[in-house]
Amino acid sequence: MNTLFGSLRHVFAMANKTQMLWCGGILLVMLLLAVLHHVWRDDKKKLGRWRLLCLIPLLICGVHAWLYVRGYPEAVSLFVPLYAIAVLALLPMLFAKRKIGYRITAALTGLLTALCGFYFCGQAPNLFNHTQLGYSDSFRALVRDMDKAYILKEWKEVDFAALEAKYLPAVQEAEQEQNPAKFAAAVAQFCRELHDGHVSVSTDYDRDTYKSEYQQHEYGLALVQLDSGEVIAVCTSEEVNRLGIEDGTVITKWNGKPVLQAAAEDVMDQGLPVKANADRIAVMNLSGVGGETVEVAFLEKSGSEKTVTLSDLGDMHTLKEAFRLFSQEPKLESMEDYRAFLKENFSAKMLDDKCGYLRLNAETMDSTFKDLAGYLKGDQTFARELFRERLSELKAQGMEYLVIDLRNNMGGFDEIGCALCDLLTTEDWYGQGLGIRKNGQYTCVSDHGIHGTGEFADLQAVALTNYNCASAGDGTSLYLSKLPNVTLAGITDPNGCNQETGGISVLSGSAVTVYFPVGLVMDENGVPNVDTKADRISRNPVEVRIPLNHDAAMKIFHDKQDYELEWAVQYLEQ
Task: List 357's β-bridge partners, or say none.
Answer: 349, 403
Q: What is the pLDDT of residue 340?
A: 84
| Domain 222-325, CATH | 2.30.42.10
Judged against a pLDDT cut of 90, whether residue 152 lies above it is answered with yes
Q: Are 90 and 58 in contact (CB under 8 A)?
A: yes
Closest CA to 378 of 88, 63, 7: 7
Can you tell me the mean pLDDT for 356-371? 94
Can you tell me the mean pLDDT for 217-239? 96
Q: Which residues contact 471 (CB under 8 A, 6 or more apart)?
A: 197, 198, 409, 410, 411, 412, 495, 497, 498, 501
Q: Residue 574: which pLDDT band, with cuts at 50, 70 and 90?
A: confident
pTM: 0.93
Cα 70 to Cα 68: distance, rounded to the nearest angstrom: 6
Cα 12 to Cα 548: distance, rounded to the nearest angstrom: 46
Cα 28 to Cα 10: distance, rounded to the nearest angstrom: 25
Chain mean position to CA 447: 23
Exposed/middle/buried for 59, CB within 10 Å: 0-12, 13-18, 19+? Answer: exposed
Q: What is the pLDDT of residue 190?
A: 97
Judged against a pLDDT cut of 90, whether residue 189 lies above it is answered with yes
126-129 vs 500-506, strand pairing mode = parallel
Q: What is the pLDDT of residue 281?
A: 95
Cα 454 to Cα 422: distance, rounded to the nearest angstrom: 7
Written as one letter, the residue type at 395 is K
Q: Residue 448: which pLDDT band, with cuts at 50, 70 and 90?
A: very high
Q: Which residues contact 492 (CB under 8 A, 6 or more apart)?
A: 274, 276, 277, 280, 281, 466, 467, 542
Cα 153 to Cα 146: distance, rounded to the nearest angstrom: 8
Task: List 514's β-bridge partners, or say none.
Answer: 201, 505
Candidate from 107-111, 189-193, 307-311 with smallest mean pLDDT: 107-111
Cα 134 to Cα 137: distance, rounded to the nearest angstrom: 5
For domain 346-495+543-573, the CATH class is: alpha beta
Give the model confidence (pLDDT) of 315-344 as tens digits.
889 999 999 999 998 887 788 887 888 889
Can you tell me the mean pLDDT for 225-246? 96
Cα 463 to Cα 474: distance, rounded to the nearest angstrom: 12
Written as one letter, the residue type at 62 is G
Chain mean position to CA 300: 43
Written as one letter, the residue type at 43 is D
Residue 315 vs residues 154, 216, 234, 289, 329: alpha-carbon distances, Å? 42, 10, 18, 14, 20
Closest CA to 516 of 144, 167, 95: 144
Residue 251, H or E segment: strand 251-254
Can you tell me the mean pLDDT for 305-316? 92
Q: What is the pLDDT of residue 161?
A: 97
Judged against a pLDDT cut of 80, whether residue 296 lies above it is answered with yes
Residue 224, H or E segment: strand 222-225
Cα three-residue angle 560-564-569, rounded to 5 degrees: 120
Give the model confidence (pLDDT) of 5-60 as tens digits.
999 999 999 999 999 999 999 999 989 988 888 888 877 888 888 888 889 999 99
Q: Are 388 and 420 in contact (CB under 8 A)?
A: no
Cα 197 to Cα 471: distance, rounded to the nearest angstrom: 8
Q: What is the pLDDT of residue 44?
A: 80
Written as one letter, the residue type at 426 is T
Residue 574: other Cβ atoms inside 10 A: 5
Cα 398 to Cα 405: distance, rounded to the nearest angstrom: 19
Cα three-residue angle 29-30-31, rounded to 5 degrees: 90
Written as one letter, the residue type at 551 is D
Q: Residue 1: which pLDDT band, with cuts at 50, 70 and 90?
A: low
Q: Which residues contact 211 (CB under 8 A, 6 or more apart)?
A: 181
Cα 169 to Cα 563: distance, rounded to the nearest angstrom: 46
Q: What is the pLDDT of residue 96?
A: 67
Handedness of CA 144, 149, 151, 154 (dihedral sign): positive
Cα 381 to Cα 307: distance, rounded to the nearest angstrom: 61
Closest CA to 517 of 100, 216, 152: 152
257-258 vs 251-254, strand pairing mode = antiparallel
Q: Are 289 and 270 in contact (CB under 8 A)?
A: no
What rounded mean pLDDT belongs to the chain?
A: 94
H-helix segments, 218-258: 238-241
Instruction: Locate the domains of the chain by residue range.
Output: 17-124, 128-203, 222-325, 346-495+543-573
Judged against a pLDDT cut of 60, whether residue 424 lies above it is answered with yes
Cα 93 to Cα 86: distance, rounded to the nearest angstrom: 12
Q: What is the pLDDT of residue 494?
A: 98
